[in-house]
Every structure is written in C-alpha cells, then in structure tokens.
Chain A
Amino acid sequence: MSPFAEYAISALLIFGGAFTLVGAIGLARLPDFYTRLHGPTKATTVGVGAIMLSSVIYFSAMGEDIGISEILITVFLLMTAPVSANMLAKAAMHIGVNTLESTKGNPWEQ
C-alpha cells in the first residue's frame, strides 16, 4: 500500500471517529431537545461518512473492487438524517417538550 493511501486512511479514520464523538458529546451536553437535535444530524452523519470513505480507500488500495455499497450506505444516511430529524422535531412539538428559556421565537402548535 502506498504511503499516501495510508496517511489518507488514517486521517479519515481519526476525523470520522472525532466527529462521531463530537456528535455524541453534543447529544449528552446541550441543554434542550431542539439543540440536541443538531449534534446527531450533522456531526454524526459527517463522521460516519468519513469512516465509510476510509473504508472505500482501504479496500481499493488492497486491490479489491471500488466499494459501491459503502457509498450507497453513506448516501442513504445523508438522505434519511434530515427526514428523521424533521419527524422527531414534529413529535417534540406535539408533546411540547421544554425549550431553553433563552430561545427566541416559539414552536408551532400541533
């Protein structure tokens, strides 16, 4: 394996792992439900995407086919993350979860 591929794979792995961790820290640390929604939809999706990309590079550097299923999973996650965030936000508005006091504006009545 060429040293360039090795650097790229290692960098992507650490980048991906770090972003997944940041997403989870956001989920654990942010003050109310709506702010917590931001961590998983962005940071975690990017983190998993980076890990997928490193897997694609790793297996093509090992001389196997280009991993189309990795790309398929990444595209699927990118398409579904906003949909589930939206559904959860609607459910939260229906239940009327508490929002942070400093939040400007109001959620809609459901």
Chain B
Amino acid sequence: MNTKAILEVKDLHAWFGNTEAVKGVSLSAAYNAVTAIIGPSGCGKSTFIRCLNRLHEELPGAYATGHVLIENIDIYDKKVDPVSIRRKVGMVFQKPNPFPSLSIFDNVVAGLKLAGVKRQSTLKEIAEQSLLSAALWSEVKDKLHAPGTSLSGGQQQRLCIARALAVEPTVLLMDEPTSALDPISTAKIEELMTELRKKVTIVIVTHNMQQAARISDQTAFFLSGELIEFGETSQVFTAPQKEQTERYITGRFG
C-alpha cells in the first residue's frame, strides 16, 4: 500500500450564512485508505465531506475556506474549477438517488455521456466494468434498459456507486451510504467497500460505529463542528485519547 497522502485537509472552515458548521478541521488520508467520520447528528460531518468535492457551496448562502489538497492540488485554489474537481471526487449519498426516468445503463454512464462520450462500445464496456465493481452486474445484466428506479433500495444504492465509479474518481465520498438500507443490503455494501478500496480512497460518514470499526483504517470523531480526535481506527475505538470520544463510542454521550 502506498502510504503517501492523497487527501490533505488544512484548516477547513465551512459556513451556512453566519453559522459556522465546520470549525477549522485538518486531517489527511493515504492512498486507498478508508477514513470513517463519526459523530452525533449535526456535528458537521456531512458538511465536512461535502466540502471535499465543493458540493457544500452549491447550497444557497453556503461557503467554505481553507485548503483541501487532492493529489497535491488545492481544490480551493481560485484557478480550480469545481466542476473538474467533482470528476475526481465521486460521491454516494445517504438516500439512493438514481436519475428518474433513466434506465439502469443510462444511469451508470450518465456522467460520461453528458460529458460528451458518445462511442457506444466504450460506454457499454465502462457500464459493465462499473456495475461489476459495484457488485450489481449479475443482478441487472439482463435488464439494463429497465428504469433505475425499478430496483430495490440496496440495488439502487449500488447503482449509484456504479454511477460514481464510471467517471473513475480517485476519491470516493460516502455520506451515510447504508443508513437507508436494510441489514443485508448494508452488509453487501460493506463487503463491496473492501473491494473498492483497492481502486479508490474512501471517506465515509457513518452513524453506525460498528460499521466504522469494521471497515475503516482511520477514524475521525467530530463534535459541534470540531475535529476532536483523529487516528487509527483500532486506537480510536480501543484507547481513545479524549474523554468526549470515549463517552461517544461507549454510548454515554450527552
């Protein structure tokens, strides 16, 4: 495993109008590492990862300051186009959100097709590859032209993962990707992540601490917009350095 940092966050602040939701967070992630972000609701963890592909600023009144380096390029540099950043940093959302009225196939290749890739053979090849990587191919290969919304919730979420993978991102952000799914679909996605990490660097927000413990290499604990503790997952869960972390992971919080 390459240990060089692919993702480096330095002093990141995120705002909604006058409210500061993320208050100066710095952390870094190595190539192909899985980083889990945990913390109570409203602690700024979703806002934090939405800053990593500059999606946060798309909300009215929202903006962010600081530096986020991805492969040594500061995505908050004035010369950088946020649209180009989002091709390198894919995202999977809390609720499965396939594009309505698009087929399974068109959902997967939407990013490429709308970016101007026209060759059917290329699109077919990438669709198959992405669906294989998202562990969905065998379930949908005979109905690629059925609507994406006809799949079950867990399948829709894997479809969204395939869609994100199709543009070949280097970093994959996952914002509570399993919180709307049943335990079996959750297990499938967790299993899938252990495969995905070979190709992409994953940052995952989760409410489920067992999930964080199972799948991540390093864990960041957020509280009220601040990064309280950041370290190896095993260390954060077995020997937390901060009292707040310990209280949260043992369920004695609040």
A-B complex is real: no
